[in-house]
Amino acid sequence: MQALLVLLSIAALSLLASSRVLDPGRFPALARLAASGFLFLLLGILLGPSVVGLLTPGNLEGLRPLVALGLGTAGVILGLNLEPRLLRLLPRPVYSAALAHAGSAFLFVALPLVAPLLLAFKLPPQSAVGAAALLGAAASLSSGHFAVLAYRAGRMDRARGLGVALLTMLDDAVGLGVLALALVLSAASHVGEGLGLVCLAVLLGVMCGALLAFLTHSLKDLAELTTVTLGGVALVAGAAAYLRVSALLAGVACGATLALVGGRTAERVSRALGRVERPSFLVLVFLVGCGVHARDWGAWALVPGFVGLRFLGKVLGGKLAQKLAGSALELPPRLGYALIAQGGLALCLVAEYGMLVPGGLSQRVLDVVVVGAVANELLAGQAFRQVLTPTPATARAPRPDVEVAT
Amino acid sequence: MKGAVIRLVLVMGLLAIISRAQMLRVDSGTPVTLAAGALLLCGLFAGKVAKGFGLPRLTGYLLVGVAVGPYALGFIPNAGVKGLELVKGLAVSLIALVAGTELRLGLIRQVGTRVALLCAGVCGLTFVVCFGALFAFKPLLPFMASMTVAQGLAVSALVSTVVVSFSPTVTIAIVQETSARGSFTEFLMALVIIGDLFVMVAFALAAGITKASFGGGLDVAGLLGGVGWELFGSVGVGCVLAVAVLVYMRGVKQELPLFLVGLSFTAAEGGARLHLSPLLVSLAAGALVANLDERSGERIHHAIQQAGLPVFALFFAAAGAGLKLDALVTVGPVALVLVALRGVAIWFSCRKLAPADDPRLRRYLWMGLISQAGVTFGLAALVSRTFPSFGPNVEVLIVAMITAHELVGPVLTRRALSASGEIRADEAAGTA
C-alpha cells in the first residue's frame, strides 16, 4: 500500500511540476529543482525510512527492480548518445578541455577526501580509495541544462551554450570510467574478480545491444518497436541485476553497441526510449532520495568539503579547459561557473555503487553525493549568472515550462 | 514467420546464457526485471509465431511463458515470475476498462435479460455437475478424505464455484486481437462478464458456509455485507474513477495511455487492498465513461490498444510461466476429469438453453466459455489463504485445471468467433 501511495505522490508531483504553479518568477529555486527533477529527490528523502518513514527499508528492497530498470534505461540512453561518427569528428582540444575540467574536479575532491575516509572512518586502503574515487567521479560530472535553458531563452548565444553542453556530455565518460574503477576495487573480494565483473557487465551489454539491433531491425509497427525496446532495456538491466553486475555499465555498452551497429534503427529506438526517459528518471531520482540516511552525521560532515572542493576544482578546471579548447570550441567567460550543476548521472553512479558494494561506506558515499548534488543545484543558479553577459532589452522571456534532461 | 522464429530462438539463447552465467555467481540479485524483459520479448515473438500457425497470439504468449518459466526450461526463476503480480493486476484492470467501454446501455437493455438467464443456467448446471463429481471424488482426494460429510459438501461447493468461473481477460484479448464485432461477440462478452459477477457472489456465500462448517460460525450479516461491499463498493469506486477519467480527458488531453495505465494500476492495487473487485471497478469505470460520453469511450479504447501490446504480452507470458506443470502430475487425473465434465456441462447447457433465434449461439457459444485465467487464479489463491488447512491443495487442483484450460481455451474462443463469422481482421494493430 505504501508503494502505491508513493507512486501516486510521484504522479501528483509530476503534474505539479509540469504546471504553472511553480512559477520561476515567484519561486526560482523551487522551479529550478522541479525542472531538473531534484524536487523528487527531496521528496524521496522526506518520505524515506530516515525521515517520515512512509517507505520502510523492506519496501525499498521490494522496489530494487525499479532502480535496476532506471539505471539500465539511463545507461542505454547514454550509450545511444555516443555517436561514433560525431565523436570522431571532434578535434583533440575538445577532449583535452573536457578532461581538464572533469579531471580537476575529480582530483580536487578525491585526493583530499581519501584522508578523512582513511583516518576518521578507519577504512581499509582499497575501500577508502574506491570510495574517494567515486566521490571524485560524482564531482567530475556536470549538467549542461543551465546552458541549454539560457540559450533557449536568448540569454546566451547558441554556440557557447552548445559548447558547454558538449563539454558536460563528454565528462559523463570520465564518471563512468571511474565508476568502473571503483567497482573493480570494491565490488568483489579481490581486484581480479572485480575486473571480471565489470567485463561481464560490458559483455552482457554488448550482447544485448547486438540482439536489440537485430530484433528491431525490420520492425515497422510502432507498438511492436516500443515493446521490443522496453523489453530489451528491461532484459539488459534485469540480467545485470540478476548477475549482480552494473546495470548502468551494461546499459551504456548496450546503447553504444546499438548506436554502432543499429544504423537508422538506433534513432528509432532512441525516439521510443525518449518517451519513457523523463518518467523513469523521476522515479529513479525519487528512489535514490529514499535511500538517503538523513541522520548520518559523518556524511553531513563530509558534505561541505565535497561541495567546496568541487566548486574550486570546477572553477580552476574551467579556466584550464578554456585555455586548452582554444579556438576549437566557443566557450563563455568564467566557464567553471557554468559547470556547477551536477546532474542526474552522479546520482546513478552512487545508486549503482550502493547496490553493488554492500556496507556502510557505499551508503555514506550516497548520502554525501545526494546532499551535495542538491546543494550544487541550488548554488548553480547563482553561479551561472556570473557566466551570462548583460541581457539585451529585446531578449526573449524565459519559458517557465521548459524541461530538460539532466 | 521465419524471422519471428529466428528472433525467438536468439532471445531464448541469450536467456540460456544468462541463466548459465548465474550459476557461476554465489549469490544472485533480483530476477524480477529480467523476468519482465525476457517474457516481454519472448511473448511478442512467440505471439507472431503462433499467428503464423493460425493460432491466437495469446496461445503463443502462454506457451513460451511455460517453456522459459521455472517449471520447464527454468530460464526464469520462480521469484521473478512471482514479482510480476503487479503487472497481472494492471493487465486485468486495463482489459476490464476496455470491456467496460463495450457495455453500452442499449446493448444491456437488448440482451441483458437473455444473457443473465442463460448465464444462470450455464453456471448452475456446471456447478451441479462439478459439485457432484467433487463430492464423489472425496475419498480419492487426500485433502478431502478425512472431512465430515458436511465439510465435504461445503468444500465441494466452494471449489465448484471457482471451477465454474470464466475468463473475461482471455475473451476480451481474443476479441481485440481479431477485431471481432457483432451480436455473437457481444453476447459472449456479456456472458463471461456477468458469469464472473455470479461467481463472485457465489464464492462469497460458499466461503462463509465453509467457514461455518469448520467451526467458524455462520455470520450472515457479515457475509451479505462482504458481498454487498464487493459488488456495490466496486461499482461506486468505478464511478468515481470514471469521473476522474472524464475530468482528465477534458482538462489535460495529453498522455492518455500513460494516465490510463496509472489509473488501472491504482484500481488493481487499491481495489485489492480495499477488498473490492479490481475487475468490477475498472469495468464500471469503462462502462460509465462510454455511456456518458461515447467519444471518450472510443478514445480510451484506442489509447489502450496503443499501451496494450506490452501489457498483454507480459501478462499472458507471465501467466504461462506461473503454470505449475508439476501440479498436473500429482492431481492430474482428477483435474482432467473435472475439465472434461466442466466442458461437457457448458456444451450441454449452451446447446439446450441458448436463445434459439440465433443458431450460432447454440452451436459455438460453449467454445468461448472454456478459458480460465486471472479471476480463477485470484479465487484459488484466496481459498489457499483463507483455509490454510486444505486451501493450498485446492489451489494445486484448480491451477492444474487452469493449465489445461489455458492451453485449449484461447484456441476455442478464436474458433468460436471465426465460426460465427464476426472476425473482421486477421489482426488488429497493436493488440493482443
pLDDT score recorded for residue B83: 84
Q: What is the mean pLDDT of residues A88-103?
A: 87
pLDDT at A120 over 80: no
Q: What is the mean pLDDT of residues B371-377?
A: 77
Closest C-alpha among A136, A181, A174, A166 to residue A313: A136
* Neighbour tally for A51: CB within 10 Å: 15
* Neighbour tally for B13: CB within 10 Å: 12
pLDDT at B336 over 60: yes
Cβ-contact A350, A288 below 8 angstroms: yes
pLDDT score recorded for residue A14: 62
Residue B27 φ then ψ, to 5°: -120, 140
Q: Write the residue in B25, B33, B269 that is nearest to A65 by C-beta.
A: B33
Between A121-125, A143-147, A374-378, B61-65, the lowest mean confidence (pLDDT) is in A121-125
pLDDT at A33 over 90: no
- Report how far residue A74's alpha carbon sits from residue A178's, in angstroms, rounded to the nearest whole number: 17
* Neighbour tally for A358: CB within 10 Å: 11
Q: Does A72 touch chain B (CB under 8 A)?
A: yes
pLDDT at A400 over 50: no
Q: Going by C-beta distance under 8 Å and a sequence separation of 6 or more, which residues neighbour residue B23?
A: none
Considering chain B, what is the average pLDDT of its residues? 84
pLDDT at B3 over 90: no
More confident residue, B431 or B29: B29
What DSSP line would sit under B219-259, residue for residue?
A: -HHHHHHHHHIIIIIHHHHHHHHHHHHHHHHHHT-S-HHHH
**Residue B327, amino acid:** A
Q: Does A64 touch chain B (CB under 8 A)?
A: yes
Between B20-24, B108-112, B192-196, the lowest mean confidence (pLDDT) is in B108-112
* Neighbour tally for A165: CB within 10 Å: 20
Nearest residue of A to residue B79 by CA position? Answer: A242
Does A11 sit within 8 Å of B33, measured CB to CB?
no
Q: Write the residue in A214, A234, A243 that is nearest to B10 by C-beta.
A: A214
pLDDT score recorded for residue B133: 92
Q: What is the mean pLDDT of residues A304-309?
A: 92
pLDDT score recorded for residue A209: 94
Mutate to test the interface with A, among B30, B241, B264, B304 (most CBs of A within 10 A): B30
Q: Going by C-beta distance under 8 Å and a sequence separation of 6 or more, which residues neighbour residue A21?
A: none
| Chain A residues with beta carbon closer than 8 angstroms to that of B90 | none
pLDDT at B340 over 70: yes
Closest C-alpha among B336, B408, B381 to residue B133: B336
On the 0-12 / 13-18 / 19+ scale of CB atoms within 10 A, B254 is exposed
Does B37 sit within 8 Å of A231, measured CB to CB?
yes
- Report how far residue B324's alpha carbon sits from residue B320's, in angstroms, rounded to the nearest whole number: 9
Q: What is the pLDDT of residues A158-172, one digit of tens each?
A: 888 888 888 888 888
- Report how far residue A349's alpha carbon sits from residue A137's, in angstroms, rounded to the nearest whole number: 8
Q: Does A11 touch chain B (CB under 8 A)?
A: yes
Cβ-contact B410, B371 below 8 angstroms: yes
Q: Does A210 touch chain B (CB under 8 A)?
A: no
What DSSP line would sit under A330-341, residue for residue?
A: ---SSGGGGG--
- Report how far residue A5's alpha carbon sits from residue B265's, in angstroms, rounded to the nearest whole number: 12
Q: What is the DSSP-derived secondary structure letter of residue A19?
A: S
On the 0-12 / 13-18 / 19+ scale of CB atoms within 10 A, A330 is middle
Q: What is the DSSP-derived secondary structure letter of residue B293?
A: -
- Report how far residue A29's alpha carbon sits from residue A379's, in angstroms, rounded to the nearest whole number: 10
Mutate to test the interface with B, among A235, A275, A277, A282 (most CBs of B within 10 A): A235
Q: Going by C-beta distance under 8 Å and a sequence separation of 6 or more, which residues neighbour residue A338?
A: A146, A147, A164, A318, A332, A383, A384, A387
Q: Write the residue in B27, B38, B40 that is nearest to A227 by C-beta.
A: B40
Nearest residue of B to residue A66 by CA position? Answer: B33
* Neighbour tally for A187: CB within 10 Å: 25
- Report how far residue B43's alpha carbon sits from residue B63's, in angstroms, rounded to the nearest whole number: 9
pLDDT at A105 over 70: yes
Cβ-contact B107, B193 below 8 angstroms: no
More confident residue, B131 or B222: B131
Cβ-contact B5, B28 below 8 angstroms: no
Q: How far is B306 from chain A (nearest CA, A)?
A: 6
* Phi-psi sector, B304: left (phi>0), alpha (psi -120 to 50), beta: alpha
pLDDT at A397 over 50: no
Lookup result for grid cell 572512518: A121
pLDDT at B347 over 60: yes
More confident residue, B95 or B35: B35
Does B83 sit within 8 Å of A242, measured CB to CB?
no
* Residue/partner pairs of B104-113 with CB below 8 Å, 24 or more apart: B104/B290, B104/B291, B105/B291, B107/B186, B107/B190, B108/B190, B111/B183, B111/B186, B111/B187, B111/B190, B112/B190
Q: What is the 3-state secondary structure (H, E, C) of A205-252?
A: HHHHHHHHHHHHCCCCCHHHHHHHHHHHHHHHHHHHHHHCCCHHHHHH
* Neighbour tally for A106: CB within 10 Å: 27
- Report how far residue A386's alpha carbon sits from residue A333's, in angstroms, rounded to the nearest whole number: 9
pLDDT at B304 over 80: no
Helices (H) and strands (E) in chain B, counts: 19, 0
More confident residue, A155 or A393: A155
Which of B63-72, B83-92, B306-315 tops mean pLDDT? B63-72
Cβ-contact B162, B176 below 8 angstroms: no
Q: Does A248 touch chain B (CB under 8 A)?
A: no
Q: What is the pLDDT of residues A189-229, one digit of tens each?
A: 788 888 999 999 999 999 999 999 999 887 878 888 888 99
The C-alpha cell at B191 is: 456472458
Coil, helix or strand for B355? coil
Cβ-contact B260, B311 below 8 angstroms: no
Cβ-contact A263, A212 below 8 angstroms: no
Between A312-326, A361-375, B142-156, B246-260, the lowest mean confidence (pLDDT) is in B246-260
Does A230 sit within 8 Å of B14, measured CB to CB?
no
Mutate to test the interface with A, among B9, B33, B255 (most CBs of A within 10 A): B33
Does B313 sit within 8 Å of A4, measured CB to CB?
no
Q: How confident is the model at residue B43 (pLDDT cuts 50, 70, 90)?
A: very high
pLDDT at A111 over 80: yes
More confident residue, B91 or B14: B14
| Chain B residues with beta carbon closer than 8 angstroms to that of A227 | 40, 44, 309-310, 313
The C-alpha cell at B290 is: 462510454
| Chain B residues with beta carbon closer than 8 angstroms to that of A226 | 309-310
Q: Does A218 touch chain B (CB under 8 A)?
A: yes
To the nearest whole percent, how much of chain A has pLDDT over 70?
Answer: 88
pLDDT at B123 over 80: yes
* Residues in chain A, overall count: 406
Nearest residue of B to residue A356 by CA position? Answer: B29
Q: Does A244 touch chain B (CB under 8 A)?
A: yes
Q: How confident is the model at residue B160 (pLDDT cuts 50, 70, 90)?
A: very high
Q: How far is A338 from chain B (nearest CA, A)?
A: 34
- Report how far residue A402's alpha carbon sits from residue B172's, in angstroms, rounded to the nearest whole number: 41
- Report how far residue B378's alpha carbon sits from residue B398's, in angstroms, rounded to the nearest whole number: 11
Lookup result for grid cell 465435504: B152
Q: How confident is the model at residue A72 (pLDDT cuts 50, 70, 90)?
A: very high
Does B35 sit within 8 Å of A241, measured CB to CB?
no
In 3-state terms chain B splits into helix, strand, coil percentages (rounded to 5) of 80, 0, 20
On the 0-12 / 13-18 / 19+ scale of CB atoms within 10 A, B218 is exposed
Q: How confident is the model at residue B248 (pLDDT cuts 50, 70, 90)?
A: confident
Q: How far is A278 from chain B (nearest CA, A)?
A: 13
Q: How far is A104 from chain B (nearest CA, A)?
A: 36
| Chain A residues with beta carbon closer than 8 angstroms to that of B258 | 279
Q: What is the mean pLDDT of residues A70-97?
A: 86
Closest C-alpha among A190, A177, A196, A296 to residue A244: A196
| Chain A residues with beta carbon closer than 8 angstroms to that of B45 | 215
pLDDT score recorded for residue A401: 45
The distance of Cα A347 from the centroid of its chain, to the nearest Å, equals 5
| Chain B residues with beta carbon closer than 8 angstroms to that of A257 | none
The C-alpha cell at A121 is: 572512518
Between B66-70, B272-276, B347-351, the lowest mean confidence (pLDDT) is in B272-276
**Residue A363, amino acid:** Q
pLDDT at B18 over 60: yes
Q: Does A287 touch chain B (CB under 8 A)?
A: no
pLDDT score recorded for residue A405: 45
Q: What is the mean pLDDT of residues B151-159?
A: 90
Q: Going by C-beta distance under 8 Å and a sequence separation of 6 or more, which residues neighbour residue B106?
A: none
* Neighbour tally for B229: CB within 10 Å: 15
- Report how far residue A106's alpha carbon sits from residue A126's, in angstroms, rounded to the nearest whole number: 18
Between A7-21, A47-61, B366-380, the lowest mean confidence (pLDDT) is in A7-21
Q: What is the pLDDT of residues B97-118, one digit of tens each?
A: 887 787 777 777 777 788 889 9
* Residues in chain B, overall count: 432
Q: How confident is the model at residue A25 (pLDDT cuts 50, 70, 90)?
A: low
Helix runs in B148-182, H state only:
149-164, 168-178
Q: What is the DSSP-derived secondary structure letter of residue B72?
A: T
pLDDT at B40 over 80: yes
Considering chain A, what is the average pLDDT of its residues? 82
Coil, helix or strand for B148? coil
Closest C-alpha among B21, B90, B34 to residue B269: B90
Give the ipTM of the model, two decimals please: 0.84
pLDDT at A240 over 80: yes
